[in-house]
Amino acid sequence: KQEVTQIPAALSVPEGENLVLNCSFTDSAIYNLQWFRQDPGKGLTSLLLIQSSQREQTSGRLNASLDKSSGRSTLYIAASQPGDSATYLCAVRRSNYQLIWGAGTKLIIKP
Amino acid sequence: GAGVSQSPSNKVTEKGKDVELRCDPISGHTALYWYRQRLGQGLEFLIYFQGNSAPDKSGLPSDRFSAERTGESVSTLTIQRTQQEDSAVYLCASSPGTGSDTQYFGPGTRLTVL
């Protein structure tokens, strides 16, 4: 059974720091992995999607990596800003359409 | 353009009552998902609709939960005889369809069962 774990559960850092969020999964037979951002009352927004054949994806200050063999993904945020404060969720897709979700990391960027 | 909308945004009900949650997907999206998110936890898959195919109901936690979708438009999630453990945020997402991995989420309905 696929399980997705995100560490840490919460993180608070000063503005401007680079930071890494971690996601691990137990079954390496995944179709892809996605990182989402969740803002209160606003639903989820997809940030990055990494196909199983890819190693990383970049969008602006965000970089996500994928190591299937070790069952790990990281989301790197460069030069963090207060507007980055949100909960970040990772989800892995199995061969069907279902996503298995981590519990998220709540990130607070202090001005 | 309009995104996914859900109503109501908040619902407080008494234990034992029935509730109905609504989702309006993005126009033209053939795939629609319902998820449940309990406090501090990840999303749990509930049900998936794809076009006119039979829905995948494998995530529904009990027979008190049911969902319908009218064609490729609005969907309703119904919870009968609500229990306190049903308290959660219920999220709906739509997708252009098979072959697309991108899901567009609504803002969710926060359900509180007293």
List chain A residues with CB under 8 Å of B89: none
| Beta strands B10-13; B109-113: pairing state | parallel
Using CB atoms, which residue from B40, B43, B102 is nearest to A101? B43
The rounded distance, in Å, linking the Cα atoms of B37 and B19 is: 17
What is the pLDDT, as a whole number, of residue A84? 97
At residue B98, does pLDDT exceed 80?
no
At residue B53, does pLDDT exceed 90?
no
pLDDT band at residue B100, thresholds of 50, 70 and 90? low
What is the rounded average pLDDT of the residues B5-14? 96
What is the rounded average pLDDT of the residues B56-79? 93
| Beta strands B31-37; B88-95: pairing state | antiparallel
Residues of chain A with pLDDT under 50: none
Cis (ω within 30 of 0) for the bond into A8? Answer: yes
CB-based contact, A24 to chain B, within 8 Å: no
pLDDT band at residue B1, thresholds of 50, 70 and 90? low
CB-based contact, A46 to chain B, within 8 Å: yes
Asked if A41 and A87 touch (Cβ cutoff 8 Å), the reply is no
Q: Is B45 in a helix, a strand, or coil?
A: strand
At residue B58, does pLDDT exceed 60?
yes
CA of B106, closest CA in chain A: separation in Å? 5
pLDDT tens digits along B18-30:
999 999 999 989 9
Optimal mutation site among B34, B48, B103, interface A, most CBs of chain A within 10 A: B103
What is the pLDDT, as a whole number, of residue B97? 74
What is the pLDDT, as a whole number, of residue B99? 59
Please state, for a pLDDT cut of 90, what percent of chain A lies above it. Answer: 84
What is the pLDDT, as a whole number, of residue B51? 85
Q: What is the mean pLDDT of chain B?
A: 92
Nearest chain A residue to B40, by CA? A103
At residue B65, does pLDDT exceed 70?
yes
What is the pLDDT, as a whole number, of residue A78? 97
The rounded distance, in Å, linking the Cα atoms of A14 and A43 is: 25
The rounded distance, in Å, linking the Cα atoms of B85 and B108 is: 17
Q: What is the mean pLDDT of chain A?
A: 93
Using CB atoms, which residue from A49, A97, A101 is nearest to B42? A101
One-letter amino acid of B85: E
Phi and psi angles of residue A23, each rounded to the nearest 5 degrees, phi first: -140, 130
Using CB atoms, which residue from A4, A34, A42 is nearest to B42? A4
Optimal mutation site among B58, B101, B110, interface A, most CBs of chain A within 10 A: B101
